[in-house]
Structures are given as C-alpha cells and as structure tokens.
Amino acid sequence: MRSYQFDFSVVFFPRASLIWALWRSGIPRRIGTGFRWYSFLLTDRVMEHRSECLKHEADYNLNLLSPLLGTNIPEPQFDFQTDPELSEEWETLQNQNGVSSDYIIIHAGSGNSAPNLNLEQYQILAETILQETGWQILLTGSPAEAEINQHLVDKISGNRIIDFSGKLNLVQLMECIRNARLLITSSTGPLHLADAQNTPVLGFFCPLPPHTPVRWGPYQQSEWVVSPDLKSP
C-alpha cells in the first residue's frame, strides 16, 4: 500500500492485521473506531459503541467520516439503478418461467444471521397473499436455502408460487427485486437491496440488541418493520 501514497484511510470493518498494515504503510491519517485494543495505531478515533444500537448502521458508518467532514455528514440517498441491458436478463427469465408483472417476493432464508419467522408463519403469509390477490409469489434464496423454499412449495397448493432458489445472480436478483410489488423477508441483504431501489418491503425483526431494526432495519422504510412486543404485562 505504501507505493500508492494514500492520504487517508477509513476503516469500516476493523481488524488488528488491517490496522497494523495501514500504520506500517505510513498513511498520514487513519480513521476508525476508538474502542479496539489496537486503536492506538489510528490517528483519528471515533468514539461510538455500535453495540448500543442507538442509530442505523449506515449512520454509524457515515459518522466515521466526521474527522474529515466535521458535522457536514450527508444523509444517505438511495436510488440504485442497473444497466438497461442487464434488465433484459431478468425479462428473459421472467418469460422463461412464466412470471407476470405482478408478483411479491418472499425471501424466507436468513443464513441464521438473525432471528427469523418460522416456515409455518411464512406459509401463512404466502397462502393469505394467494387467497386475497391474483399476484404470483416468487421465492428467492441461495442454493443452501433451496430446502426451505421447497418446503413452502410442497405445502402451498396452486401454481402461482415459483421457486428461484439459487437461480439468480446478484444483478438478476436486484432486477427481480426492483420490479416486485413487495418484498417480504427478515433482516437480510435482499431487504436492503429492495430499500435501496425503492421497492416496498415488509421486514420482520427481533427488537432486541444486537438485532434491533433501529440499527439493521430498512433505512427508508422503517415504518414497515414488524417486531414482537416483548414488554412484560
């Protein structure tokens, strides 16, 4: 890194080896959290405990720029667009799989990164949508989540549910989400892809740290987060 002669570095995901490398590279300004044992190797230390979950992760990350920008931290602006040629890939997949223009996505898997609804609850949601609307349901997920979605396909009658587990690359998934009427999921990456593309979301979250939607919810659509009430009677 020394050969690139960087003026400053901002560390969003701190690790001792990385901070050591930045210091050894002689980067004049090294910015990061001040609450690691190796933070003394930084020149600018931002003193915030993310574990307190007082604000959104995006805001925590943007605040790392405060040593450079002072209080003039811009608010995040989301309007992600994909290349029109890449949009054609999704249109082709739509036609090949009989997907109409009116569909809702259910992304039931979460990689066990946070508490989630159980499969029976997702089944109830899917059956209600099929009963109350004429829309299709698309199930998305990685190859590792194919078993989850196959369970839903087996349990739900009708031909308006289509399983796309492991069949979409990232760009195709983004296009699939961008054109959806709604995305239903928990604390997942697709939820944030939908939010960034202004696709309506319905997100299910555990209200307790470290999973709280205050930190991990959809940045622009926090009003569409559902969390259980854990207050004692």
Report, as an integer, the average pLDDT of 19-30.
Answer: 97
Neighbours of 176 (CB within 10 A): 24
% of the chain beyond a pLDDT of 90 = 83
79: pLDDT strictly greater than 60: yes
What CATH class does 84-226 carry?
A: alpha beta
Confidence tier at 232 by pLDDT (50, 70, 90): very low
pLDDT value at residue 126: 97
pLDDT value at residue 233: 46
Neighbours of 211 (CB within 10 A): 19
Asked whether 109 and 163 are in contact (CB, 8 A), the reply is: no
Chain center to CA of 52: 20
Report, as an integer, the average pLDDT of 29-33.
Answer: 97
Confidence tier at 193 by pLDDT (50, 70, 90): very high
Q: In terms of Cα–Cα distance, which of 105, 63, 58, 94 is closest to 78?
A: 58
Report, as an integer, the average pLDDT of 206-214.
Answer: 92
Give, to the nearest 10 degrees, the angle between helix 170-178 and helix 189-196.
60
pLDDT value at residue 230: 74
The tens digit of pLDDT for each residue in 145-184 reads 999 999 999 999 889 999 999 999 999 999 999 999 999 9
Confidence tier at 224 by pLDDT (50, 70, 90): very high
pLDDT value at residue 76: 83
Report, as an integer, the average pLDDT of 70-95.
Answer: 86
pLDDT averaged over the chain?
Answer: 93
Confidence tier at 217 by pLDDT (50, 70, 90): very high
88: pLDDT strictly greater than 90: no
